[in-house]
Amino acid sequence: MVRLVASFASGVPWELYTYIQTTYQTAVTTLSALDFAASKGELNLVQVCHARRSSQVVTCAGMDAAASNGHLDMVEWLHRHTHTPLQFLHEHRNEGCTVFAMHNAVVQKHMAIVGYLQSNRSEGCTSYTLVRAAQLGFLDVVEFLFANERQGTSGRQAFDLAATNGHFEVVRFLHAHSTQGCTTQAMDGAAQNGHFNIVKFLHMHRTEGGTAMGRARAEANGHAEIAAYLKQHLPPA
């Protein structure tokens, strides 16, 4: 709505903002209102508020949300203005963004924002970012995280989930590039869900193996061929 109004009258966003502040002052603070505007990509409104009252800032939650929702222009603007030496934000605050800005951008596959944050910010992402990317089968994201040394310390969980969910190319990549390996859950999960190609790959190229539980679940789910393969190749329980 703000964007539509602003397209007709540049002074209206500030009036609308102050109206919201006055009418809903018990429920919406200045910061939460600006964070919400940032999360929706309302750059015009954020810029007007910044120009009128430089002491009112978008917090890290606003920048995180803007990144999560794919608003690259907002992320770029907030980054530039959080590093302007003469501005109140630089002198008195240090919100910037958090690791969840890149994490959420990764999960939503806003790769332009991920690249921008990697090049311009230092917060990085979380160890769980790799886990989630592997679980979803986002090979390009997994490759990006490794290339930029953002893979974190949850490589085994990422490997296990990639195998469990049938993401063969991610499994192959993690086998080749991760030093953290996987657990028996990788083979058990792949067997349970019928991913025979992954089961065979893990047996031929990994040493972690699987358990009787994986074989039992494969059989229970109707994957008789996998169950027979595991019975033949895995040691007795």
Kindly report the CATH class assigned to 1-125.
Answer: mainly alpha
**Do 1-125 and 127-237 agree at the fold level?**
yes
Pair 70, 79: CB distance under 8 Å: no
Is 222 buried (19+), middle (13-18) or exposed (0-12) by CB count in 10 A? exposed
Task: Output the average pLDDT for the chain.
Answer: 78
Q: Is pLDDT at 170 greater than 70 in this prediction? A: yes
- What residue ranges in 73-231 does DSSP mark as E strands? none
pLDDT at position 53 is 58
Q: What is the pLDDT of residues 117-135, one digit of tens each?
A: 888 877 777 888 899 899 9
Q: How far apart are CA 142 and CA 165, in angstroms?
A: 15
Tell me the mean pLDDT in the region 2-28: 45
Tell me the mean pLDDT in the region 66-72: 78
Q: How far apart are CA 10 and CA 121, in angstroms?
A: 31
Q: What is the pLDDT of residues 95-121, one digit of tens each?
A: 566 787 888 888 788 888 888 888 887
Please give the model's pTM, rounded to 2 decimal places: 0.62
127-237 CATH pick, 3.30.497.10, 3.40.50.1820, 1.10.490.10, 1.25.40.20: 1.25.40.20
Greater confidence (79 vs 104) lies with: 104
Q: What is the pLDDT of residues 146-168, one digit of tens each?
A: 998 877 778 999 999 999 999 99
Pair 183, 160: CB distance under 8 Å: yes
Kindly list the domain boundaries of the chain, sorted by start residue: 1-125, 127-237
Pair 227, 218: CB distance under 8 Å: yes
